[in-house]
Structures are given as structure tokens and as C-alpha cells.
Structure 1
């Protein structure tokens, strides 16, 4: 399976070199999507000769990831894997994601909640938010996704084509799952290891978290309603 690792990066100058090296050491093709970073992310990538696409403005995680999907589609990849540039994801877990794709699934999500090996835990408030999104997804899709906010995920050709055409821009992970299931794609999960962020801070603060929950919850429901109307 010809796989591309998509590394969206926004102001990741302290971690991007280490992240790319871990992917290269694991033997995968990759592309860094520099999402209009204001720090030295682009300069470091260019200095090291990394494969990079520089976006002229910050599009947000959704726009950066969709750029990666379009890159994978245009270059004929059989699969792509979203792999964050902040060092939280573990390159040793890429292979299980791809192996699940080879079993016939279209979208495979790396879950931190179905393995005892994963010692990193997010805050209690964030775990509570994840539980709410899990319940909403279950209600509208009739499928249990234990880690709907996970950004560590693999797409096969059908999902790549779907997401290259349409992908949520704002906090896209849960909404894109609903969109994929509503488009009759097969979605699964595998356990993965995630690490605590080594550098920088999360883009989702207290106020943003409240907006996130309301926006994403409504988006999941509306996505499912629109898909039912199309059917």
C-alpha cells in the first residue's frame, strides 16, 4: 500500500524536525503542510530539505488536512495518514492503521481509549467533552467511535477522494466521521499510543472549548440530516 503521511503544522518550530525524522525512520513518504506558520517552521523544513507545501495564509487544521488529501489524490497514493506536527502521535502506530485499511475499511481512527498501554490522559473536562461527542455520534450514525476527536487517522482511496472534495474546516474530526459514515464509508478504530504535547499549547482554550462543543455537535446532526435527504 502506497501511503502518504500528512503532517499539518502551524508554529511547530520546536517539534517539526523530530516529527518528520520519526516518520522517515519508519519508512514512509510524507508531506508537511505548513499552515501559514509565523515562526521558523517553514525555514526549518526548507533547511532540512523536507517535502513541504507552504500555505500562504492560515487555513486552520481542516484546510491544512484537506490540502494533504488533495496532494495524496493528485500523486496517486492508496492511503494517507494524518500525523500531527506537535509530537503527540507515535510513528510506530502508523502500521496498524494501514493494516486495518487493508482489511477493507475506508477510514481508520487511532483511539487512545481502547488500550491500557496508553498512559497519556487528557484533562477531565476534555474527556467529558469527548464522551458527549461520542454519544451524539452514536445517536446519529448508530456506530460507537471511542475517540471522535482523534487527529491520528488513516484514509483509503474512497475517503481520500471524499475529503479532497469536501472537508470541515473548523475542528473537523468528529464532523468528518459523521460525513464519512453518512457517505457509506466503512469506519473503524485501532488502539494507538499518544504522547503529551512536548512543545507549545493547544489551540482550544476554555472559551474555544465551549464554542467547539456547540459547533461540532450541531454540525454532526446537520451533516447526518443532509445525508439522509440526499438518500
Structure 2
């Protein structure tokens, strides 16, 4: 797929992902023009292995949360020579084949922000423990995000999201931990950004289990969503 001269930055927030980070980075090197790993206070070799693969690394001394990692990555992106930034989780559940299709609407100037939707595509059973409960929680979160944003989102928690530099400057994100993906969509709606979704495939993690706690998630994410909606 022709990138039309656009330079793509992969933003990988990571926390204790030494078992998958090398594979994830090596897998996307031929697509991304630059790779930034924001190590969220890992206590393993995540930063070391990312640097060995040639990625740029920003490391937090202590764990601050995925939201803080993404916000730090956006600050880097805004001051960089890259044109498009795509968030790509470090656990290996997202496919390299979906990256360019997600970036394409921005490359073609048809959108400012694009979300890779697992529910327009395929959310493979077994991709997460508590599979059905997680999908139910995501559906509730997505419904509330749709109401708050006024955007036709079908997957408010997707870890594959592309943004233009213009939209990264406009979003004014505040979340430190969970809720960052819903905040991105709600702020996009508040700021009148052009929004699109692209079907993607969500696969089983390479190693370990998700750190997202299903029962605690709403209590962390909903206040973030509410503040994003109230804020101008």
C-alpha cells in the first residue's frame, strides 16, 4: 500500500513485555518509519530488548499507567518529523497486516483519527480470559463512548489507533491509566475531528494475560470519560 510519502511512527506503550517486545518490534519494522516504545516502569528487560531492536525508548522510573505512556508518546510525536502515529500494543494481539489499512484514511486525508475495530472485523475467542465478560464490558463502554462523543464507534477499547499530527495536538488528553482509548474518541468528537473505523483481527496474546481488571475497569475509566466529555 502506498504511503504517499507519509512517515509513520509506531507508538508502543509497554509494561513488563520482555517476552513479546522483540517479536512485535521486528514484525513491524518494514511498515513503521520510526518505533517509539514508552516503557511504563517495567521491572524486566523490556527497555533493554526494545533498544537492541533499534527502537527509540522513553522509560518511566515507576509505573504511571497506559494513559500516561500514550500521552508521553503523543508529545514525542507532535515534536517529531513523523506525519502519522499509530498506537500498537506490545502483547502481540494486533496484526501487522492491519496497520496500513488503519492508517490509510489519514494518508488519503479522509480522516484525522482511525480506530481499528475488532467488532467490525474478528475478535477471536480465547484472545482474552473472561472472554464473554470482557466483550460485554467493552460493549457497554462503547455504547457510553458513542453517546458522549457523538461518533459511530464500535470498539472504544481498541489498542490499534492511528492519529494525524493535527489531531494529536487537538485532543488534550488527561488520562493516566485506563480510559485513555475512550478519552481519545470522546475528545475527537468534542473537537470535531474526522473519525473512521477499519475492521481488524484481534488474536491471542503471545505471552501472559491482560492486566486489565474487568471489575475495576469501569471505576477507573468512567471518571476519565466523564471529564473528557465535560471539558471543552
Taking structure 2 as the reference length, what is the TM-score of the superposition? 0.88
Please, which of 140, 162, 166 is the counterpart of residue 173 of structure 2? Answer: 166
Structure having the higher strand fraction is: 2
Partner residue of 1:110? Answer: 116
1:134 and 1:144 in contact (8 A); partners too = no
1:158 and 1:185 in contact (8 A); partners too = no
Please, which of 203, 223, 230 is the counterpart of residue 211 of structure 2? Answer: 203
2:8 and 2:32 in contact (8 A); partners too = no
Please, which of 17, 23, 44 is the counterpart of residue 22 of structure 2? Answer: 17
Flag structure 1 segments of 5+ consecutive residues without an equivalent: none
1:136 and 1:217 in contact (8 A); partners too = no
Please, which of 119, 129, 154 is the counterpart of residue 124 of structure 2? Answer: 119
Shift of 1:188: 1.4
Please, which of 183, 186, 192 is the counterpart of residue 178 of structure 1? Answer: 186
Partner residue of 1:5? Answer: 10
Partner residue of 1:68? Answer: 73
Give distance in 2, aligned partners of 1:99 and 1:67. 24
Shift of 1:179: 1.4
Shift of 1:160: 1.5
Q: Secondary structure at the match of 1:88?
A: coil
Paired residue total: 222
Partner residue of 2:138? Answer: 130
Please, which of 7, 28, 42 is the counterpart of residue 33 of structure 2? Answer: 28
Structure having the higher helix fraction is: 1
Could you list the runs of 4 or more consecutive aligned residues of structure 1 that deviate by over 4 angstroms after TM superposition? none
Shift of 1:27: 4.8
Flag structure 2 segments of 5+ consecutive residues without an equivalent: 1-5
